[in-house]
Amino acid sequence: MHWINWLIVVVYLAYVIIDGIRKSKDTDTIDGYFLASKSLPWWVVGLSVMATQLSAVTMIGTPGQGATDGIRFIQLYFGLPLAMVILGVTLVPFLHGSGVYTAYEYLERRFDARTRSLTAFLFLLSRGMSVGAIMAAPGVVLSAIFGIPLIWSVALIGFPTVLYTMVGGVQAVAWADVKQMVLIIVALLAIVVVLLVQMPVQPDDALRIAGATGRLKAFDFSFDLTETYTFWSGMIGGTFLMLSYFGTDQSQVQRYLAAESVDAARSSLLMSAYWKIPLQGLVLMVGVLVFVYYQFTAPPLLFNPTHESAVIAERGAAYDALQREYASTFTLREQAARAAADAGNEAGAAAAMETFLAREADIQVIRGQALTMVEEVTGEASRDTNYIIPRFVLSELPIGLTGLFIAGVLAAAMSSIAAELTSLSTTSVIDFYRRWVKDDGDDAHYLKVSRAATAFWGAFACMVAIYAATLGSLIEVVNRFGSFFYGSILGVFLLAMMPRTNGTGSFFGLLMGMGVVAVVAFGAPDVSFLWHNVIGAVTVVIVGLVLGGKGGEQEA
Amino acid sequence: MTTEDASASEAPTSTFKTNLIRVLVVQVVTLTVLALIQLRYHA
C-alpha cells in the first residue's frame, strides 16, 4: 500500500486515541464513566447506536454479499423501523427513567436476582465471545491482504480501542462513534463515486446487467420458513430480532441510557429507524456496482491472497491452466457484457443478455473449480466474499481513497468493539461485582474495577481474535447458542411490562424459551434463525403468564 | 407496573414526533426506490 494511504490510517488512529482521551473529563464517577452523566444529546446517541451496529463486517462482508448475492439481504432490516418505534414508546421510558446502569439491573427490581443474574450471564457469555469474532473478522482479512501476522492486525484494531474505552468510558466511545460514523459514510460515498466514474458503461446499463443476474431483487414475498431473507422473515422475525437487540442488549441499551432525557433516548433510536435501511442499501449497492465493474476489469480468480498462495504452492500447474481458461472466458464475458450494455432496450437486447448470462455461468463454473481446489489444499472453507471489497479497494481505488476506506473499516471495527467492551465492563461490575462481591465501595473503587474489567475484556477479545482460526467451530457454537436465547431474553423484558407475572414465571419462562428454541434449532435446522427470536419470545411470555398467574398480580 | 415505571413513561415530545415523521417519510421513499429498482431491472 502507498505511504500516503498508510499516513491516512496512522493519522486516523492517532486522532481517535487523542480525542478519546480528551473526552475523558467528568469520568471520575461511575455515573460519568458508564452513562456520561446522562448528558448526551439525541443525535450523538443516535449516531453512536448506528456506529455500534455497523461493524467491520458491514464494511467488507456486506458489500461482498452484495457482489455475490445482490441486495435481498436488505429485507433483514425491514422490521427495524417498527421495532424502534415500539421500543421508543415502551421499553425506553421504563429503562431510562428507572435510573439503572444495565438493562438486567431493571429485571431484579421487577422480578428477582436470579432472573437478573441469568440474563446478565447469558449476555457476558455471548458478547464476550462475539467481541472476539468482531475483532477477528477484519483482523484476518487485513492480515491476509497486507501479508502481516494476525497478531499485528488485531493489535492495530484492539490496542487503540481498548485504550480510549478504558480511559474515557461511554462518553469517549459515543463521541468517537460520531466521528467514526462520518468517516464511514464518507468512505462509502467516495467508493460509489469512484465506481460510477470508472465504470465503462452508463449507470442504467450497469443496473440492467446487475438486474439480469438477479442481484437487484429487494423483495421476496414467498412465505418460506427455511429461506433466511424474505419480506416476511424480515418484517416479523426481523422485528423481534431488532426488538431484542436494541431493547435488551446492554451494548445498545447503554447508549440510550446515556441520553440527556427520555425524549432524547427515544429520538436516538429513531435515527437508526430512518437511516438503517438506506445505509444498508448503499452498502449493498457498493457490492453490486463492484460486481458490474468486474465485468469489464478482470478480477482475481481467488480473492483471498492466502488461499491463492497456498493453491499456487501446492498445485501450481493445475491452477495455471485454470487461470488461462478463466482469462479467455473472462474476455468472452466482457464482450458479452458490452454487447448487452450497447443493446440497451432495443431489439436483440434479450438475446445479448442471454449470451452474457451464459458466459457469466461459465465464469462461475471456473470459480467453483478454483474454490474446490482451495478446500482440497487448505482443508478450510473456501468462501472468499469478505475479500472481494478489500482486493478491489487496494487494486482499483486511487491513492488516498484506499487509505480512507481502510480507516473506515478500522473505524467500523473500533466503534463496535468499544461498545461491546463498555457494556461487558458495565455488566461485569454492576450486575456481578457490585451485586454479589462488594456493594459498599465508593466511586473511585468501582471506577478502578471498571477500567480493569475493560482491560480484561479487551485482552480476552484480542486472544479470541488471534486464535479465531482454531476457535472457529467454538465461535460458531457460541453464536448459535446466542440465537437460542436472544428472543427469550426479549420475552423476559416483555413480561416485565406486564402486570400478571412474577419472578418464578420470568425465570422458568426464560429457561423454557431457550429450551424450545434449542429443540426447534436441532429438530428443524432448516428453519431460519430469524424465526427463533419469535419462537423464544412468545414461549417466554406464555410460560411466564401461566406460571406467574395470580402471584404476579400481587407482586406487581 | 411500579409507580416508578409509570412516572418514567413520559408522553412523546416534539423531537420524537418530528423524528417519527422522518421515519415514515424515509421508509416510504426508500422502499419505493427499492421497489422501482426491482420492477425496472430485476429479470
A105: domain CATH number? 1.20.1730.10
pLDDT over 90 (residue A509): yes
pLDDT over 60 (residue A129): yes
Task: For A514-544, write each residue's pLDDT tens digit.
Answer: 999 989 988 988 888 888 889 999 999 999 9
Are the beta carbons of B23 and A270 separated by less than 8 Å? Answer: yes
Domain final residue, candidates A470, A496, A513: A470
Of A93, A277, A499, Cβ closest to residue B30: A277
In a 10 Å sphere around its CB, with 0-12 CB exposed, 13-18 middle and 19+ buried, how is residue A438 labelled? exposed
Give the structural domain span for A315.
305-383
The torsion region of residue A36 among left (phi > 0), alpha (psi -120 to 50) and beta comes to left
Let me know whether A459 and A346 are in one domain: no
Task: For A371-430, write each residue's pLDDT tens digit.
Answer: 999 999 988 887 888 889 988 988 888 989 999 999 998 988 998 899 999 999 999 999
Distance from C-alpha of A244 to C-alpha of B4, rounded to nearest angstrom: 23
A110 and B CB contact within 8 Å: yes
Let me know whether A92 and A233 are in one domain: yes
In a domain, A534, yes or no: no
Residues in chain B with CB shorter than 8 Å from the CB of A274 are 19, 22-23, 25-27
Task: For A195-240, write each residue's pLDDT tens digit.
Answer: 999 999 999 999 999 999 999 999 999 988 888 789 998 999 889 8
pLDDT over 80 (residue A475): no
Task: For A14-35, write each residue's pLDDT tens digit.
Answer: 998 888 888 776 678 888 899 9
Q: For A176-187, what is the mean pLDDT?
A: 90
Q: Tell me what the pLDDT averaged over chain A comes to.
A: 89
pLDDT over 70 (residue A78): yes
Distance from C-alpha of A174 to C-alpha of A168, rounded to nearest angstrom: 10
Distance from C-alpha of A363 to C-alpha of A13, rounded to nearest angstrom: 40
* Interface size between A and B, measured as CB pairs under 8 A: 102
In a domain, A524, yes or no: no
Are the beta carbons of B42 and A211 separated by less than 8 Å? Answer: yes
In degrees and rounded to multiples of 5, residue A520 shows phi and psi of: -65, -45
Are the beta carbons of A214 and B20 separated by less than 8 Å? Answer: no
pLDDT over 70 (residue A550): no
Distance from C-alpha of A250 to C-alpha of A120, rounded to nearest angstrom: 9
Let me know whether A378 and A451 are in one domain: no
pLDDT of residue A288: 96
Residue type at A375 in one-letter notation: E
Distance, C-alpha A508 to centroid of its chain: 31
In a domain, A15, yes or no: no
Domain final residue, candidates A470, A486, A506: A470
In a domain, A18, yes or no: no
In a domain, A33, yes or no: no
How far away is chain A from the Cα of B10, in angstroms, using its nearest Cα? 7
Q: Provide the sign of the torsion angle of the four alpha carbons A85, A264, A34, A104, taken in this order.
A: negative
Are the beta carbons of A281 and B34 separated by less than 8 Å? Answer: yes
In a domain, A21, yes or no: no
pLDDT over 50 (residue A555): no
Q: Count structural domains, chain A.
A: 2
The torsion region of residue A99 among left (phi > 0), alpha (psi -120 to 50) and beta comes to left
Of A89, A211, A273, Cβ closest to residue B23: A273
Q: How confident is the model at residue A477 (pLDDT cuts 50, 70, 90)?
A: low
- Of all residues in chain B, the one with the smallest CA distance to A276 is B27
Q: Which of residues 461-500 of A touch B (CB under 8 A)?
A: 497, 499
Q: How confident is the model at residue A119 (pLDDT cuts 50, 70, 90)?
A: very high
More confident residue, A237 or A116: A116
Domain final residue, candidates A455, A470, A485: A470
Distance from C-alpha of A468 to C-alpha of A471, rounded to nearest angstrom: 5
Distance from C-alpha of A99 to C-alpha of A369, rounded to nearest angstrom: 59
Let me know whether A269 and A369 are in one domain: no
Let me know whether A161 and A222 are in one domain: yes
Cβ A482 vs Cβ A532: under 8 Å: no
Could you identify the residue written with the cell 486472544? Answer: A463
How far away is chain B from the Cα of A202, in angstroms, using its nearest Cα? 14
pLDDT of residue A345: 67
Let me know whether A282 and A310 are in one domain: no
pLDDT of residue A29: 87
B3 and A CB contact within 8 Å: no
Let me know whether A141 and A287 are in one domain: yes
**How many other CB atoms sit within 10 Å of the CB of residue A308?**
19
Distance from C-alpha of A66 to C-alpha of A59, rounded to nearest angstrom: 11
Q: Which of residues 214-273 of A touch B (CB under 8 A)?
A: 214, 216-219, 262-264, 266-267, 270-271, 273
pLDDT of residue A125: 87
Task: For A303-357, write each residue's pLDDT tens digit.
Answer: 988 899 999 999 999 999 999 999 999 999 999 999 998 886 666 788 889 999 9
Are the beta carbons of B23 and A109 separated by less than 8 Å? Answer: no
In a domain, A515, yes or no: no
pLDDT over 70 (residue B30): yes
pLDDT of residue A554: 43
Diameter over CA atoms, chain A: 81
- Mutate one of B4, B34, B40 to test the A interface: name it (highest A CB count within 10 A): B34
Of A85, A97, A210, Cβ closest to residue B23: A85
Residues in chain A with CB shorter than 8 Å from the CB of B38 are 216-219
Distance from C-alpha of A257 to C-alpha of A48, rounded to nearest angstrom: 12
Let me know whether A222 and A271 are in one domain: yes
- Mutate one of B20, B21, B28, B40 to test the A interface: name it (highest A CB count within 10 A): B20
Let me know whether A196 and A267 are in one domain: yes
In a domain, A249, yes or no: yes
| C-alpha closest to that of A430 among A421, A439, A418 | A439
Of A88, A109, A274, Cβ closest to residue B26: A274
Q: How confident is the model at residue A553 (pLDDT cuts 50, 70, 90)?
A: very low
Under DSSP, the state recorded for A55 is -
pLDDT of residue B3: 40
Let me know whether A47 and A88 are in one domain: yes
Q: Which of residues 140-199 of A touch B (CB under 8 A)?
A: none
Let me know whether A144 and A231 are in one domain: yes
Let me know whether A337 and A289 are in one domain: no
For the ranges A49-58, A247-256, A258-267, A535-544, the lowest mean pLDDT is seen at A49-58
